[in-house]
Amino acid sequence: MPRAFTVRFTACICVILLVIYGDAAGAGILASSIGGKGRKARPSGLDSASAIASFSASSLRELRLEVPPPSPILPIPTAGQLAWHRRELSLLVHFGMQTFGLGDGADSPRLFTPLQMNTTQWVEAAVRGGFRTVILTAKPEDGFCLWPSNYTSYSVKSASWQSGNADIVAELVDSCGKLGVAVGLHLCPQDNHELRFGDVSRYNEYFIALHRELMTSYGPFAEVRYTGSGKTYPYSYGKYWAVDRQLQPMAQIFSDAGPDIRWVGNSNGQGSDTCWSMIDRSRLTPGTPESPNEEKMEYLAQGDENGSDWCPAECDVSMRANWFWKAGDRPKNLINLVDIYFASVGRNCVLQLNLPVRPDGLLDLEDVSGIYQVHEVLKSVFSVNFCRGRPANASSVWGDRAAAIRMKQAMAGQRKKNLRPSAIHRGAGDEEESGMEPALRPRTDEFLEHRGADDSAVLHVQRLRLLSLENDSLFPFGAHKAVDGDLETYWAADAGETAGTLEVDLQSPTQFNVVRIQEPIQMGQRVAQYMVQAWVVGRPDESRSANGVVAGQWQTLSSGTTIGHKKLDRLPDVVNATKVRLVIIRGRANPLIAEFGLHLIRHGHFRVSRDERKTTIQAMNEV
C-alpha cells in the first residue's frame, strides 16, 4: 500500500480516535505515522514518541496561532490606487472639435453640432462592456473646452448648438453618477488655440485657472489624465497636480511620470511581460518626447523592482485607427480585443480603451457591440475557475515556525493555558489577559526571525498542518486561501521564505488553457520569478499534446517574472491535468498569493456570426 495513502488513512483514523477517546490514543497513532519506523532520533526535543505524540492535530488546534498578517513590503498602493487597479477597465471617450474639423485650434466653435448627443448612451455602453470608469477628453490639444469655461471663449458656450448652453462635462458626471460608474477627465497641457501658449508664465496661469474651475465645479473624479504634451515645454506639472490633490484628493493622476499612474510606454494596449507597479519617479520627467528616448519607454513598460514609488501602468489603445472619429475607420474585432485584454490587464496593467464619438454625439453601435461581445467572452471564461474550492497545500504557511516555537516551549513543561500563541503579538501590559508570565512570552523579533524553531520542529508542524482535517480553521493564511475566490484573503509563505510552492488537487482530469495568478497588492508586489506546472494525464486518444506536453508527469506549462494584481498565462494548447502547482522561484519577500485559477477558452467563444452581430447592434439601438 502506498505510504501517502497510509499516512492519510492513519490521520483520518487518528482524528476519529481523538473524538472518541481523547488526545492520548489518536496522538500516539499520529506520531507513529509521521515519525515512521527506524527513523533516527534527532536532538531537537522532538525525539521521543511521547513528546511527539503530545502534539497531535488536536493539540495544535488548542495551541492555534491567531497569526497577524505578514508586514507589507514597501511601497504599497494608496486606497485610491488599489481601487483604480481593481476596476481593471476604463473607457476613454474622445470627442471635441477634431470630431468635426481639423483640430488645429483654428476651427470655428460653430462647427460643433452633436445634435443627438447623449452621455447616458456612453455610460450605458461602458456598463454593458464591463467598464467601471468613463474618461472624457475635456480639453484636447486643440484647446476646445467641453464645458462653458469662464476663462476662454473657445468652448461649448460659443457653439450654436443648444444656443451655447451645453455642458458636456456636467452631463457626463451626472450620467456616471446615476449608473454608479467612476468618471475622469483627460486634459492636454498643449494648446493650439490659446495665444498665451508660448508665454510660459501666462499660459501656466491660464491652464491652472481652467484646471481649478473643473476641479471645483464638477466631480468627484476618479482619474485625471495628462497627455499629448507634444514637444518639450516647461509645463508646471507640479502646480497642476497640487490643484488635483487639494480639490480632488481621490483622483488618480496619470502622466508619463505619474505621480499615481504611469503610461505604459506605447498606445497599442500592450503591457510588458515584466511589469512592476513600482518606479523611481526621480528618474522620469513628465511631458518629455517619446522618441528617441527608448530607455524611458522600457522603464515605463517594465517598472522597477527596486523602485521607491508605487505607480502602476495603464495601457491605452483606440478601438479604431484614430483617437477621434474618422469616417472609414474600422473597429477592432473580437479576437483583437481579447488579445489586448490579456496583454494589458493580464500583465498587471489597467486597460483604457478609447471609443471615438461620432459627429451626432453618439458612440457607434458597432463599437458598442464589440466591447459587449468581449465582455461576454471574458465573463464566460472567468466565471468558471477549476481551482475554486479544491484541496490545496503549500510548501510552507505563515505561522509554521511560530507554532514550532510554541511546541518546544510546551515540551519544556509550560502549562497549556500559558501557551496561547495569540499572546505573542500583544503589547506590553497584556500579560494578565494572555495568562502568560512576562518572562515566558517570546519576543516579536524571535517570532519573526524564527529563533528557537529548528527544522525538525517546523517539519512536524507542517506535517500536522497537512494531515489535519481542519487546516482551514488552524491556519488563516493557508493554501486554501488562494482558491477561495476572495481577493482579500491569501496564502502566505512562512516568514523568511522568498520561494515556495502552492499545489492544488483538481481531483479529476481537468482541461484548461488559461492560468490566472493574483497577488494581494495591498501588501506590496513581491513575486519576481515563477513557473506553473501540471500533472498531465493527456487526452483519451493521445499521450503528447500539440505543444509537447507529455502525460503522466509534472510538466512546466508557463513561466514568468512579475505577477502583481493579475497575471494571465495563455497556454498554446488545452492541457488535461489532475494537479497543478505554482512554483515561486524568487520573491522580494515571503510570497503571498490571493488567487490561483485555471480557466478554459473554447474556440466557440470567438464564433460570432454576422447575424449575431447585427442582432446585438439592433438590440442596443432599441435600448
Please tell me the predicted confidence (pLDDT) of residue 461. 64
Q: Please state, as a whole number, how many other Cβ atoms lie within 10 Å of the Cβ of residue 621.
A: 10
Spatial separation of the C-alpha atoms in residues 175 and 123, rounded to whole Å: 7
Please tell me the predicted confidence (pLDDT) of residue 464. 60
Are residues 370 and 518 located together in one domain of the fold?
A: no
Q: Which three cell numbers stand for residue 284?
A: 522620469
- Positive/negative CA dihedral, 97, 101, 103, 106: negative
Q: Which three cell numbers stand for residue 475?
A: 491556519
Strands 491-492 and 567-587: unpaired
Query: Is residue 356 one of the residues assigned to a domain?
Result: yes
Q: What is the largest CA-CA distance in the chain?
A: 95
Stretches where the chain sits below pLDDT 50 are 1-54, 414-452, 468-471, 540-541, 543, 546, 609, 623
Please tell me the predicted confidence (pLDDT) of residue 25. 36
Are residues 184 and 329 located together in one domain of the fold?
A: yes
Please tell me the predicted confidence (pLDDT) of residue 509. 97
Are residues 97 and 234 located together in one domain of the fold?
A: yes
Query: Is residue 548 one of the residues assigned to a domain?
Result: yes
Please tell me the predicted confidence (pLDDT) of residue 540. 42
Are residues 376 and 498 located together in one domain of the fold?
A: no
Number of domains in the chain: 2
Range of the domain at 193: 79-285+299-383
Contact 393, 479 (CB under 8 A): yes
CATH code (residue 559): 2.60.120.260
CATH code (residue 224): 3.20.20.80
Are residues 359 and 494 located together in one domain of the fold?
A: no
Query: Is residue 233 one of the residues assigned to a domain?
Result: yes
Are residues 190 and 328 located together in one domain of the fold?
A: yes
- H or E stretch at 617: helix 610-622
- Positive/negative CA dihedral, 190, 191, 197, 201: negative
Query: Is residue 331 one of the residues assigned to a domain?
Result: yes
Half-sphere exposure (CA, 13 Å, Cβ side) for 240?
Answer: 25
Query: Is residue 4 one of the residues assigned to a domain?
Result: no
How far is residue 541 CA from its own chain's centroid?
38
pLDDT tens readout for residues 556-593: 999 999 999 999 999 999 999 999 999 999 999 999 99
Are residues 514 and 377 located together in one domain of the fold?
A: no
Query: Is residue 292 one of the residues assigned to a domain?
Result: no
The runs of H, that is alpha helices, within 328-364 are 334-344
Q: Which of 353, 383, 413 is at the close of a domain?
A: 383
Are residues 176 and 304 located together in one domain of the fold?
A: yes
Contact 44, 454 (CB under 8 A): yes
Q: Which of 319, 354, 383 is at the close of a domain?
A: 383
85-121 exposure pattern, b = at least 16 Cβ within 10 A, e = fewer: bebbbbbbbbbbbbbbbebebebebebbebeebebeb
Query: Is residue 195 one of the residues assigned to a domain?
Result: yes
Residue among 250, 249, 224 at smallest CA distance from 83: 250
Q: Which of 351, 383, 415 is at the close of a domain?
A: 383
Provide the total of helices (H) and of strands (E) in the chain, helices listed first: 18, 18
Spatial separation of the C-alpha atoms in residues 75 and 280, rounded to whole Å: 11
Query: Is residue 294 one of the residues assigned to a domain?
Result: no
Residue among 354, 351, 352 at smallest CA distance from 324: 354
Contacts of 275 (CB under 8 A, 6+ apart): 301, 302, 303, 313, 347, 348, 349, 562, 564
Are residues 100 and 215 located together in one domain of the fold?
A: yes
